[in-house]
Amino acid sequence: MAKNSAKIGVLLVNLGTPDSTKTSDVRKYLREFLMDWRVIDFPFIPRWMLVNLIIAPFRAPKSAGEYRKLWTDRGSPLLFHTQDLKDKLIKKLDPEKYLVAMAMRYQNPSIEKGLAELMKAKVKKIIVLPLFPQYASATNGSVIDRVMEIARDWQIIPEITFVSNYVDHPLFLEAWTELGREAMQKHDYDKFLFSYHGLPERQIRKGSVEGYCKLGACCNKYGLKNQFCYRAQCFQTTRLVAEKLGLPEDKVMTCFQSRLGKDPWIKPYTEDTIKELAKEGVKKVLVFSPAFVADCLETTVEVGEEYKEQFEELGGEHWDLVPSLNSNDTWVECVKDLVESRS
């Protein structure tokens, strides 16, 4: 490729993180995050009142304390793991052909800043890769929505390609398999739990094709009608990773964490699953969190600490968390392939 020819821009987008663990910064982050109509799909006025008068004021101090448990000398793990992924990806891609930027859907660095960096370099095409393996309107859909909102004001809009999901990409599955095998050397586990971030049931129904989604056994098969059903994608991820690890079906469970509010969310809930395991006398559990490609509050603190404490209080002996993909070399190769296959 000629040195003066236009490059292809790549934008890696993760969820976001507060700028610091100060309560004011956490409150600012929560307000931006939860005011997204794809996250809390209420009309504007009730959503504004819920977020700004109830959730953000009362939840921010507690969340700030949780972020302090997570923060390191490098700052927010979600941010620096994404930076590490970007740095490794740059070394893997042809520098004469690609320019890589990163962004957070909420807070900093913003999607607007990431796109501006690519447009300043006069790229001929932009590949947007949301770092959410399973498609959901509240994650991938929100990233796509924001990119399109920004781009519609440009005089010149280059070709823009979005990667919507990659639940069955061989290298994505292999990366989780590698991490799983390493973790499985610690104990002979009784159960293997796959815990995904939850969503309100109403959001699944909104995306149902021809009324296919029943929020139950329909997720046992993955096909055309539920290829964009978040719950079905999660069950598919579990099946494929468990198969590669050679895990017996009766030892594998899929569940959903991080509920917010009183409306029903997709089931089974992780908290309820933990109670069931304790009643069955299960002592050793290995947990995967394949909805998260970088360690963050939901993995390190919620699954790794809070659920561990709950399990041990109920009589469990070992609750171990498989780390997220972060900048795992096989995961980097997966991202490289996702980019090159869309170039």
56 class by beta-carbon count within 10 Å (0-12 exposed, 13-18 middle, 19+ buried): buried
Regarding whether 190 and 151 lie in a shared domain, the answer is no
**Amino acid 63: pLDDT:** 96
What CATH number should be reported for the domain holding residue 100? 3.40.50.1400
Regarding whether 150 and 126 lie in a shared domain, the answer is yes
- Does 121 map to a domain? yes
Count the domains in the chain: 2
- Is the pLDDT confidence value at 1 over 70? no
Regarding whether 144 and 259 lie in a shared domain, the answer is no
Q: How confident is the model at residue 261 (pLDDT cuts 50, 70, 90)?
A: confident
**Amino acid 205: pLDDT:** 94
Regarding whether 56 and 187 lie in a shared domain, the answer is no
Could you give the C-alpha distances from 283 to 55, 186, 197, 312, 315, in angstroms and in order?
36, 14, 24, 9, 7
Closest CA to 194 of 126, 133, 115, 131: 133
Regarding whether 176 and 207 lie in a shared domain, the answer is yes
Token pair, residue 262, equals 């009183």
User: In this predicted model, what pLDDT tens digit does every residue of 20-63 receive, in sequence order?
Assistant: 999 999 999 999 999 999 999 999 999 999 999 999 999 999 99
- Does 2 map to a domain? no
- Does 3 map to a domain? no
Pairing verdict, β 191-197 and 284-288: parallel
Is 81 within any annotated ligand binding site? no
User: In this predicted model, what pLDDT tens digit does every residue of 100-144 receive, in sequence order?
Assistant: 999 999 999 999 999 999 999 999 999 999 999 999 999 999 999
Regarding whether 294 and 205 lie in a shared domain, the answer is yes
Regarding whether 157 and 48 lie in a shared domain, the answer is yes
Only one residue has tokens 């539920």, namely 226
- 234 within 8 A of 194, measured Cβ to Cβ: yes
Regarding whether 152 and 211 lie in a shared domain, the answer is no
Regarding whether 14 and 38 lie in a shared domain, the answer is yes
- Does 1 map to a domain? no
- 40 within 8 A of 47, measured Cβ to Cβ: yes
Is 197 within any annotated ligand binding site? yes
- Does 180 map to a domain? yes
Pairing verdict, β 284-288 and 318-321: parallel
**Amino acid 92: pLDDT:** 98
Range(s) of the domain holding residue 283: 170-321
